[in-house]
Structure 1
Amino acid sequence: MTTTMSPADIAAHVVAQGPVRTKQPSKLARTVLERFDAGAPRGSWPAEEFAADRRREGVPARVVMDLATDSFLVIVEAAS
């Protein structure tokens, strides 16, 4: 016995599968603008201040933590 699906069932099945990727997602290339030691004095946020200054200049900078070197990195990501 062969079961056929109605158009509504087919549509529901396709939606339930989620988005279909047709190509590899592009990787983001990171450029490190500056490194800051994580041991800054309490209440001092030099990496955040540096990133905020870059953002005011129009550069989409953000701060990430590099656990291997115990430092904060101010980075810019761009699709490659």
Structure 2
Amino acid sequence: MNRMVVQQFPAGGPRGSWPAEEFAAAQRELGHAVDVVMDLDADAFLVVARQLESVE
């Protein structure tokens, strides 16, 4: 399974603010299979879409 980064959010957001989670929830409501992961090297939250590999 491949993943594609849909959106990136800085980890240092305002206290109590979860912009990556809110964006992911909106995408899920539209029917997109997305997850939120932490990129430690970039100090950012990534919203990634799951993409199935094509089988030939």
TM-score by length of 2: 0.90
2:15 aligned partner = 42
Q: How does 1:1-80 map to 2 (within 5 A)?
A: 28-80=1-53
Shift of 1:33: 0.5
Asked which structure has the greater RCO (Cα within 8 Å, sep 6+), the reply is 2
Shift of 1:42: 0.6
Structure with the higher strand share, 1 or 2: 2
Root-mean-square deviation (CA, aligned residues, Å) is: 0.6
Query: What per-residue deviation string (whole Å, max 9, x for no partner) do you get for residues 19-69 of structure 1?
Result: xxxxxxxxx111100000000011000000000000000001110000110
The structure with more radius of gyration: 1
Once residues 75 and 66 of structure 1 are traced to their aligned partners in structure 2, the CA distance between those partners, rounded to angstroms, is 11
Shift of 1:77: 1.3
What is the percentage of aligned positions where both structures have the same residue?
53
Q: Which consecutive aligned stretches of 4+ in structure 1 deviate over 2 angstroms post-superposition?
A: none
* Unaligned segments of structure 2, at least 5 residues: none
Structure with the higher helix share, 1 or 2: 1
Shift of 1:74: 0.2
